Each structure stands twice: as C-alpha cells, then as structure tokens.
Chains A and B, each alone.
Chain A
Amino acid sequence: MTTQHLDREPLTMDELAAVIARDIPAGSFVNLGIGHPTKIADHLPEDLGVVLHTENGMLGMGPRAEDDAMDADLTNAGKVPVTELPGASYFHHADSFAMMRGGHLDVCVLGAYQVAVTGDIANWHTGRPGDIPAVGGAMDLAIGARNVYAMMTLFTKSGAPKLVPACTYPLTGVGCVSRVYTDFGVFDVGPSGMGLRETYGVTEADLRARLGLWT
C-alpha cells in the first residue's frame, strides 16, 4: 500500500530528515552518516531516548558545539566539534567498528550517489579517473548496522534517477540497504524486490513511470 502525499511539493532535505526521524524506534542506537543524514539528529525528540554513535569513538553524542563549548578533542565523524550528553562513553576505533560490524547498532542512515533496487549502495567514489578515492567508514557502516537506510535526492541535477536497477558507480556494499528515503518518495529495497511506501508531491503512477523500474 502506497501513501500518496499529493497536497504538497516534494520534500526538502530538512523535511526528509524529519520523515526519517519519525521512523526511528525509541531507544535505538543510531549512526548518522556524514552529509544530509546528520540533519536527522535535529528532529529526534529527547524523550525518544535515541543514542547516537559516531564511529570515531563515542556513544551519546550531543549537538554541534558552539563557541566556548568547542573542544578539539571532541568531534564527530565529519570532524565537526560536538558535545557529549549525560551517559556518553568513549572507546577506541577497533571497538567502535566492532560495535558496528557486530550488529549492535540498530540503524545507520547513509547518504548515497546511487542505490540499486537489490539494496546495493554506491556512496564512496565517483569512479572518475583522477578523483582520489576515500572510503572512510562507509563500507563498514554499509554492512554493519542491523538496518541500513539511504537518504538522498531521487534524481541527479540532470534528472537521472539515483534509484537504479544496478549501480554504475563503484559499490560501497552489496544488498545491504533496506530502505531508501528520498524527496519524492520512500522505498523498500532488497533481495525480495522493491516497494513504494510513500510519495511526496507526485502520484504513485507518475513516480513509477519516471523511474521506469517496474514492469
């Protein structure tokens, strides 16, 4: 069943962040990838009890640090100064990635260049000759959390779909993404096929036609 939100425009990235925040279960341990996903933190109500993990070695990460609260020894994975919340803990990198790889995180939200209907994700390298490859924690995150969501605009600036039958960019992970949140709609993806959960500012039929992914 697809819920169509037709009385509005497609979502802004901030609105999309709020939509994702709404779907994060209370008490979850969550890693928010660099870029758009970091906005999701602004939409998680305190009483939801969500604990944020940052892969450089912290659970219980608080909001971005401002002015006097900035501490060079306390940053997030994007190297932005952040704060610590009561109950926070620190650990070294091997423990941090063991926590991730070991399936202890409930949700990870990643930005993406492309996601395939099979759940493959490409988000680390454009593949252009001359571009310096840099993977960071992307591949560990993609296969680590129990639920991996992608957050992206559905189309490139030139209008090409980023939700595709098979990724053309170098892969970050295979079959690991279960849900794709975009400005035009929310999709389930994976080995058992693709489903459309919600649309924003576009009908289900129009979106299916624009993506051309269904027969």
Chain B
Amino acid sequence: MARATVLGTTDEAVAGIEDGSTVLVGGFGLAGMPFDLIDALIRQGAGDLTVVANNAGNGEVGLAALLKAGRVRKMICSFPRQADSYVFDGLYRAGKVELEVVPQGNLAERMRAAGAGIGGFYCPTAVGTPLAENKEVRRIDGRDYLLEYPIRGDYALISADKADPVGNLVYRKTARNFGPVMATAATTTIVQVNEVVELGDLDPDSVITPGIHVDRIVQAETRHYTVQGTR
C-alpha cells in the first residue's frame, strides 16, 4: 500500500469512489462522524452504495444527508432506529433501502477481522436469538458460539483529531469509536482531521492508528459540531 497523501480539499479526498462500493463510515451518532467527507461524497455522486456504520443517520446531516440523496442501496448497522433517524425510517418503510442489523460488538469485531486477516471467528453474541438465523453454531468448551465472517470495505471514511503527513492518527475522546478498526478494514482509508501537524509532532507512543492504514488525509474546512439534546 502506498504511503498516505495529504490532500487540499475533501473533493480530492473522495475522488474515484465508484458506484456500488462498500463504504465504512465512522462515528457513533454524531461523535466521530466524518461530516465533510460525506458532504464531499454527495457532491462526488457515487451511488448504489453499501454503507457500514453504527447508526443510520441522525437528523439531516452526515450519513442522513447521504441517505436522503438516495445514494445508499443497503445499510449494515447495529442501531438504525433513533429519535432522529427519520430520513432512514422513511426510506426503509418505502422499501428504498435494505437493512442488515448486526450487533454492535460483532460489527466492530467483523471489521477488525477483515483488517487483521482473519477469515472468520466464533462469537457467543446473539446465540439463540433471531439474529442467529442461518449461522453455523459451534459448541466449544460447553458454550455455543456463532460463526461470524469479516466485513471488508472498499473505502473507509473516518474522522480523527490529528494526522501527521505519513498518516499516523490520534483521536479525541469517544469520537475514536469505530475509526481505528475501520481504518484497517478498507482497501482505501480516507480521513478527515481537525489538524494536520508537522512530521515529528506526534509522539510515536501516542499514535493510535499507524499511518500504514491510512491512504488519504484532509484537514476539514468546517466542523459541524452538534451536541444532541442541546437544540
């Protein structure tokens, strides 16, 4: 994989994303959501996307805006239904978007497996529930587990706090959430950061995502900061 590139605009950062791609989108609710990359993806025009994310959009910003623009064929997520997920709810009820519900820990672990070269794993989550349907059950040391397969992305769109020019990333607080895992699980990882710092300015001991996992970096022009429950 080539070394990371720092790009001047979010439009350059999302260039080349093809119709029909699987896109991993970071964030837990709005924390860690790569708003500017998603806005750029809407302008870029790719459609028929499979999006993997924890939620299915909040309000009309970020992932909800991508859904509203009609670019998403299928959502793979753990928690689509929320007080402010009306864009997704409407599309789903109208049969305009498919949904695959995956328990949150399995969503993370399946992407971790993809990034770590693991072909599948046995997990106790969801045994005996409707989400176990059609999955292989294996009894190991007296406990039942389900066979889970990796989730790989063609692209990951994530946000981090800081990047250096070789793609090393540090995150802020719970905005880290899916970022480090998604960065490993996609063919092309695109990151928006609050700040691109000089080479040598990140303490190597504090790096969370090593630059080997990062392909494109852009400093975001704007930051749509919205704290839920405050408006």
Contact = CB atoms under 8 A, between A and B. Distances in A.
Interface of A: 54-58, 70-75, 79-81, 84, 90-94, 96-98, 100-101, 120, 125, 130-140, 143-144, 170-174
Interface in B174-231: 174-181, 208, 225-230
Given A80-B228, A132-B89, A134-B81, A174 B101 contact: no
A173 B123 CA distance: 13
Nearest to A67: B230
B30 A79 contact: yes
A139 B32 contact: no
B164 interface: no
A97 B109 contact: yes
Contacts of A138: 103
B63 to A, nearest CB: 14
B112 interface: yes
B80 A173 contact: no
A131 B31 CA distance: 26
Interface of B: 28-32, 54, 78-82, 89, 92-93, 99, 101-109, 111-112, 123-131, 171-181, 208, 225-230
Given A132-B89, A135-B101, A144-B105, 15 more contacts: A55-B105, A56-B177, A73-B31, A74-B174, A90-B173, A94-B108, A94-B180, A97-B108, A101-B125, A132-B80, A133-B80, A135-B79, A136-B104, A140-B125, A170-B129
Contacts of A73: 31-32, 172-175
A98 B228 contact: no
A139 B129 contact: yes
Given A75-B31, A94-B109, A94-B111, A137 B93 contact: no
Most buried by A among B128, B174, B176, B229: B174
B105 A174 contact: no
B181 A139 contact: no
Contacts of B131: 135, 139
B124 A101 contact: yes
In the A-B complex, the 8 residue pairs with the closest CB atoms: A97-B105, A140-B105, A174-B128, A93-B108, A79-B29, A73-B175, A134-B81, A136-B79
A81 B107 CA distance: 23
Interface of A is mostly: loop
A92 B178 contact: yes
Which of A80, A134, A135 has the most chain B CB within a 10 Å cutoff? A135
B104 A137 contact: yes
Contact of B109 (A74, A79, A91, A98): A98
A56 B27 CA distance: 10
A81 B54 CA distance: 18
B148 to A, nearest CB: 12
Residue from the set B30, B129, B179 with the largest chain A CB neighbour count within 10 Å: B129
B101 to A, nearest CB: 5
B30 A72 contact: yes
B93 to A, nearest CB: 7
A170 B101 CA distance: 14
B31 A137 contact: no
B30 A135 contact: no
Contact of B226 (A72, A131, A171): A72
29 contacts: A56-B31, A58-B173, A70-B230, A71-B173, A72-B227, A73-B174, A75-B28, A79-B29, A91-B176, A92-B176, A93-B54, A93-B107, A93-B177, A93-B178, A93-B181, A98-B105, A101-B125, A132-B81, A133-B99, A133-B101, A135-B78, A135-B79, A135-B103, A135-B104, A137-B78, A140-B105, A140-B106, A140-B125, A171-B128
Nearest to A55: B104
